[in-house]
Structure 1
Amino acid sequence: MEEMAAMGGWAGIGEMLVAMMPEAVPPLKAVLKDTGVDANDDMMMIGAVKPPKEHAFVAAHQFRWLLSQVNYPKLGDLCWLVIPCALTALDHWSPDVKEQGMISFMHIAKNVKATELSLYEDAILDACCHNIPADDELWYRVVEFSIGSRYDRVLSEMLGHLERQPLNKERRVAWLTLIGPVFDSMGLFLLAHFRLLFSLFFQWIHADDDRTVLLVLERVHTVIKLTWIRKSPYTSRLVDELVLLYKESATRKSREMMRNHIMEILMLLQK
């Protein structure tokens, strides 16, 4: 490809791809749009040809690869072209295509200015919220993709979804692992979500797997630091749950780590 770029008079591969994108991206978007109806959807017309899923899969991968070759600041000039295509991938029925759309959006978010994304803010936020109920294998990507969007609405949607599936280990671990930056950014605004937040914390703090418990303790510590939980109606219940967990942890492999976290939280509550 370096030879192609040199023959075309471009300074490098990135510059060549930037020049090619206005011609390369629209056909890929068209494929994603044309195959965007699930062949198993009851709303499809009788006798309709089954959408060629493999075509959409290839197009999504090609788009994601093209996008990954263009970085800041050049990508900002292409928002008008690449964001609609990424949104089309996110709206696709195939989880494989959706995943490529999420990866594409994460690259876009890292390589363009916030002002360049502002025109598409509502559409991106809607895409985040619509994909929260996605398949289990996509949940990690959904959370990772969503932490860069407007926090309040996305957090509300996620908590509501997790409340309906509190026993789904993969989803809760992914969420607990990645949600830290959202908590940090929201600060005191987390108070508006305490009911659902602590309802889940109180369930998960006694989960069978040590990883979930440790992650919950870390997130509880963060929430206490960021808010006035000492004066919250949840404080007494939290202390009771922590004391109970301290006793239960005697049979856990990670009991020392758990007990250290518990003591740190209790000391923080007393400050």
Structure 2
Amino acid sequence: MKQQFLSKEDILCMQYAGMRAHQIMHSKFEKEEYAEAFETYIDKAESIMEIQHEYGVVTLTFQDEDFPCSLTKIGDDCPPMIHCLGDLSLLAPTDKRIAVIGARAASPAGNRKAYELGRKFAEEGNIIVSGLALGCDKAAHEGCLYAGGKTIAIVASGLNIVHPKENEPLQQHILENGGLILSEQPFGMKANPTRLVARNRLQAALSDAVVLAECPEQSGSMHTMRFARKYRKQCFVASYPQYSYINAGNELLLSQNLAKPI
């Protein structure tokens, strides 16, 4: 391990104080810089880290040698630390992670496409990355699990909260089958629109390719595709014989040559 200039508790204090990731990671590691935050939040931070450890959560900071290099490569967008439940080996350097994403309120055809893509890519030996949401995310995880593959669910809440609650059995199935649940949010943090968008950037960053199953033009999945292009990932989108509101995002990306058809 590299020398730990900032402890996990230090970083959590700084996050609670509202410091942005790039401020934390470019800090000169002098506690005088954030003494007020440390004094205000240290008890809370120590308590959270202790509870997470008891729960089996492993926390990695940007200073750790086993912190995913695919996250450090995104520069100031990199989270200062991540919290993980499950098989950490799925974060090792590889070119076999594929994100399969799509809308929560997907059509039956969109959910079917996400399931088929998750299963197909898993059968080819890839790790499937998605967001544990209803709709296409759920279908992609389930397709991967059906194929006996490994899947990573990146979530927008602390790992003591399953969001949405309906996917609690799916989260347990992922863990029981050697998968991984990952979040940049500590225990107690609930998902909200801002954290969901932030979650989307981690899906793109952690993966070598991002595949969109189905979404309208206004969708969180379109944020993920924008992040994928920003991080120079391979971008693919499912094509359909006909287009409507429900898959207008697919049509837009294809018509503007922002992703390749699949």
TM-score (norm 2): 0.31
TM-score (norm 1): 0.30
Task: Flag the structure with more relative contact order, 1 or 2, with Cα contacts below 8 A and sequence separation at least 6.
Answer: 2
